[in-house]
Amino acid sequence: MQKLVIIGAGMATGRMLEHLFEAAPDAYEVTVFNAEPRGNYNRIMLSPVLSGEKSYEEIVTHDDAWYADNRVTCRFGEPVVGIDRAARMVRTETDEVAYDKLVLGTGSAPFIIPVPGRDLPGVVAYRDLDDTNAMISASEAAGARAVVIGGGLLGLEAAAGLRLRGMEVTVIHLAGHLMERQLDPAAGYLLQKDLESRGITMLTGASTKAILGHDRAEAVLLEDGTTIGADLVVMAVGIRPETRLATDTGLEVARGVEVDARMRTSDPAIHAVGECVEFDGQLFGLVAPLYDQAKVLADTLMEREGDGFAARQLSTKLKVTGCDLFSAGDFADGPGREDIVFRDPARGIYKRLVIEDDRLVGAVMYGDTADGNWFFGLIKDGTDISQMRETLIFGPAYQGGSAADPLAAVAALPPEAEVCGCNGVCKGQIVEAIADGAGDLGQIKAKTKASASCGSCTGLVEQILACELGDDFQMPSSQPVCGCTDLTHEDVRRLIKARELKSQPAVWQELGWTTPNGCHVCRPAVNFYLLADWPLDYDDDPQSRFVNERNHANIQKDGTYSVMPRMWGGLTNAEELRAIADAAEKYGGELKVTGGQRIDILGVKKEDLPDIWADLNAVGMVSGHAYTKGLRTVKSCVGTDWCRFGTQDSTGLAVKLEKRLWGSWTPHKVKLGVSGCPRNCAEATCKDVGVICVDSGYQIGVGGAAGMDLKEIQRLHEAKTEEETVEWIVAFVQLYRENAKYLDRPYKWIAKVGLDWVIETLSVDAGRAGLVERFDLSQSVYQKDPWAERATPETKRHYEPLADLTLEAAE
């Protein structure tokens, strides 16, 4: 009988033996070596063992009796240290065993990130039962803290398990959202929300710098300087094929042990299977292809013909109780690809299908995975879905019939189904109210309170009205933000505040966006709303800005840029003028004095921007933000310093206002003017905010314009002092920031809300103080010179010449 030696008692070799013994039980005399002191167990179920939802005994796939029944010589706990291919012998520390056929099933080794402290006791990988038991032991200390490095499948399962065991758990993840290889940002957002609701702290976009501790791990230090206390550090950042034996014995090894489609290595007597192999440039970490390999290898060992191994599409599931996600195929954005998106914010459901050439190529779903396998089948089979495209997202139950009625789902809701979560209103109560005569949303609100709080169920309530009243109900027709949503800007702003939505994925999901991540219309608006409402929680997204705001310079019609340094209140000095002149000469720029009392350097090449900014920064000049939806200029006259008619220090006030307001993002650009007397040399009466100084104080007006529309300012307030003037103007700007629709100038916004409401709101001392406080809080984040941040050698490469002529220059 031929001698078959197997190195590694893992899931792939175990399944291979099952096939072998089933078909040819007497073909080989089998010896299995395993570095672990145990036989084969279901490694993919280690996470439930960690969480306590399974016992080790339950996941043992081949027990001692099975090995005995199949006459397998078990050499468990005995690592193989070398292979002598010429003599066909494997060597352990104490013995040598001959083989006719050898199978490498050495699996994979966890990747340990090369940071200081990685070797400290208390740092564990997550690969086998011993690692699992080490984590379980660590959880036994009351109040123990765990840091899991890696927010992938394994890391999150570890985190959930350790939390269930009672630990305080933090997950550190380098990418911007969890499981970024399997999920898109929207699904990643829902997963994060779900895990955070279990008390797990999630840090995305976080990079580990070191593991700190003396005799054992005590904390994890992040690149941003944050330190997180830890009694246990779990490294779950990935795996790599365990190839040392293969390499040492001279087999062909790339990233893994190279095999052909029959699982043969470069030595005809040696085969390999499982996570240690590389086939056709691919590595394998999920169990499904490993089982396919096992079947092929069993056939090969029995010298049977059959289909060779072929890599196939894979799907992913997370083994955390209550987290339902499914991911399969490729869901990256790309030319020619289309998305179908379904969201049900109330039930936390997100589904996205990616279609290319009438074929489904990717599917991501969270919260409702019932149709996952059906979609997976369509992906694997390359089915032409053109005939079912309209109803595809609703799954197999809707195929073969008529197009889905969007109201059918609402009609099917049982009377006890909760519609308004805020006020606990069920569908039945709404239907009763309609039967009692309520015919529109306002009457439903009055009778039942449904939709009367956060308003996110408004659409559902309207659909119930439509179901019950039929043609007697007219859906309100307000202008939505864009084609991604039915909500208006005002709805979105209100819901971002009421629902405390603090990220773009949160907005897309919780407000039921019909696209995966918005479009060029809604993204800049939502980006502004989020940063205006949550300055400390939300990170500005440059990719959601127009090109000029991304580049911090206005592109001109010839593809060059204009550079406009800030001149506070229109004041400058000889040193600044020399620097501007030198810069113009050095970079070939032309100079223009603008209507906003500053000097524009025109014709600068994109690649020169960081250098010219550095030169201007050197004399203390900062960006004039001539390209932003934000504060532009504060124009002034010479005031009492020089003018015979000046009543107040208009220049000084303009400088104070500009220094207070610069850097703030606003719904549209904001221009100010301060005139020292009613002769109005600074033309303050056509600015967004204009101040006319008079003997008795300062007349503050708002809502002026001198562009496509010509508007004179309207009186907001008459202040006695400069301080009072600044306070009112800051409060007004913040009120505008918090309430206006994106791309509405102040005069348009005031026309909508009414000047009386603005005055009434700002006249309340506490309210005004709150607005000022919130403005200053926002400025603590955003009042910074973007030029200084980008005038570094590292950022220069971002300014390669890439012209985008789709936008006209602003200012």
Partner 1 sequence: METAFDTPLPIERSARTFIEVAEIWVPENGRLVMSSGAYGTLDGFADVSSAESFAKGEGLPGRAWAEARPVVLTQFDGTGFKRTEAAREAGLTSAVAVPLFAGATLKAVLVVLCADSDGRTGAIEVWAETDGILCLDNGYYGAAVQFGEVSRRTSFARGQGLPGGVWSSRTPMLLRDLGSGHGFVRGESAGAAGLTTGLGLPVPVPGGKNYVLTLLSAPGTPLARRFEIWDARAARVGHERAAKLVDGICDREGPLWDPENAGRERRVNAWQGTVGQVLGTGLPVVESGTDAAGYASMVALPIHRGGELAHIVAWYF
Q: Which residues bind partner 1 (CB under 8 A)?
A: 42, 44-45, 51-55, 58-59, 61, 136-137, 139-144, 160, 163-167, 197-200, 287-288, 317, 319, 321-324, 347, 349, 367-373, 395-397, 413-414, 416-418, 424, 426
Q: Would you say 238 or 377 has its CB closer to partner 1? A: 377
> How far is it, in rounded angstroms, from Cα 703 to Cα 342?
41
> How far is it, in rounded angstroms, from Cα 628 to Cα 548?
7
Q: Would you say 364 or 740 has its CB closer to partner 1? A: 364
φ and ψ of 565, to 5 deg: -75, 155
Q: Would you say 409 or 803 has its CB closer to partner 1? A: 409
What is the smallest separation between the CB atom of 322 and partner 1, expressed in angstroms?
3
- The answer to whether 665 and 629 have CB atoms below 8 angstroms apart is yes
* Best CA proximity match to 651, nearest among 566, 570, 729: 570
Helix axes of 441-448 and 427-435: crossing angle, nearest 10 degrees = 110
> How far is it, in rounded angstroms, from Cα 118 to Cα 123?
6
What is the smallest separation between the CB atom of 199 and partner 1, expressed in angstroms?
4
In this structure, what token pair is assigned to residue 773? 């406080």
What is the smallest separation between the CB atom of 717 and partner 1, expressed in angstroms?
44
Q: Would you say 218 or 368 has its CB closer to partner 1? A: 368
Residue 337 burial by Cβ neighbours in a 10 Å radius (0-12, 13-18, 19+): middle
Residue 483 DSSP code:
T
Q: Would you say 313 or 680 has its CB closer to partner 1? A: 313
What is the smallest separation between the CB atom of 598 and partner 1, expressed in angstroms?
54
* Best CA proximity match to 665, nearest among 543, 784, 767, 810: 784
> How far is it, in rounded angstroms, from Cα 745 to Cα 479?
18
What is the smallest separation between the CB atom of 321 and partner 1, expressed in angstroms?
5
φ and ψ of 409, to 5 deg: -65, -40
> How far is it, in rounded angstroms, from Cα 146 to Cα 231?
6
Q: Would you say 53 or 539 has its CB closer to partner 1? A: 53
Q: Would you say 468 or 600 has its CB closer to partner 1? A: 468
DSSP 429-448: HHHHHHHTT--SHHHHHHHH
Q: Would you say 52 or 620 has its CB closer to partner 1? A: 52
What is the smallest separation between the CB atom of 21 and partner 1, expressed in angstroms?
18
What is the smallest separation between the CB atom of 431 and partner 1, expressed in angstroms?
14
Q: Could you tell me which residues come within 8 angstroms of residue 22 by beta carbon, excluding any fewer than 6 positions away?
A: none
What is the smallest separation between the CB atom of 348 and partner 1, expressed in angstroms?
9
What is the smallest separation between the CB atom of 195 and partner 1, expressed in angstroms?
8
Buried residues in 102-116 as b, exposed as e (16+ CB within 10 A) = bbbbbbbbbeeeebe
Q: Would you say 141 or 803 has its CB closer to partner 1? A: 141
What is the smallest separation between the CB atom of 636 and partner 1, expressed in angstroms?
54
Q: Would you say 345 or 701 has its CB closer to partner 1? A: 345
Report the Cα 810 to chain-centroid distance in Å: 31
Buried residues in 349-362 as b, exposed as e (16+ CB within 10 A) = bbbbbbbeeebbbb
